[in-house]
Amino acid sequence: MARILITGSSDGLGSLAAQALVKRGHTVYLHARSEQRAKDAQKACPGAESVFIADLSKPDETRKMAEDANKVGAFDCVIHNAGLYHGAYRKTAWGLPSLTMVNSVAPYVLASLMRKPKRIVFVSSGLHNSGDASLKDWTWRLRGERAFSDHQAYCDSKLHDVLLALGFARRWPDVESNSLSPGWVATKMGGMSARDDINKAVDTYVMLAEGCGKSGKFFKSSQEVRYMKAADDVKLQDKFFEELQELSRVKAPKDADTSSEL
């Protein structure tokens, strides 16, 4: 059985996937942004091993979570599920909107600082196809709060998740690194009018957590599907990683168990 960490697992798909994996005999660690949310997470998934608490919009808490996770040991799989969909700019310590910090930067920082897992999953969306592949001002620090669009920022961040999956797949050839689209499902984020099958979304989480034998792929309903062609551009992937390194001062490891800071 595997040791699995799922970020953003106090409710929604993260919680449902955790419950499904616990039922299959895996040791599952949850994550929540606050003490109260941690209690919610444990109540929803009482079979989970433990809950990490960290507000991923805050750099110091994100780093601390990586440190705490490393004390547990290496995970067989880490699912980067935490994400924001709507909301105001809410400037973070690095000047980014909270949405961009949680969806785009935190997964990179956690993946780079934590011990290398056997499998890593980045939760994207079909909306990544509307993301800006130029990476021009992806941090929104130039355009600022007045010009901020949470919808565009979300689409951009889901493209970033695909780039992260592909970039880590190249850097870690011995790790299954993939991304997925859960589809439009009836969660707090998706709304009750969503039409896609939530069970198929959970099945996709489970499949990738347990291993699919592929890396650098994009999945929906447990099937490999195409993603934005521009994401295959190695120069684009490297540019994104370089800018993440410069922003966070955390260097992505190439083929090592732990990362080093710049």
| Residues forming the active site | 154, 158
Tell me whether residue 60 is exposed, middle or buried, using C-beta atoms within 10 angstroms of its C-beta: 0 to 12, 13 to 18, 19 or more.
exposed
Q: At 260, which helix (H) or strand (E)?
A: strand 260-261
Nearest by Cα to 47 from 32, 26, 31: 26
Encoding tokens for residue 248?
A: 């966070």
**Helix H or strand E segment including 24:** none
Using a 10 angstrom Cβ sphere, with 0-12 exposed, 13-18 middle and 19 or more buried, the burial of residue 135 is middle
Report the distance separating Cα 167 and Cα 170, nearest Å: 5
**Angle between helical axes of 35-44 and 12-23 (0-180°, round to 10):** 40
Is 117 strand, coil or helix?
coil
Using DSSP, state whether 90 is helix, strand or coil: coil
Q: Which amino acid is at 164?
A: L
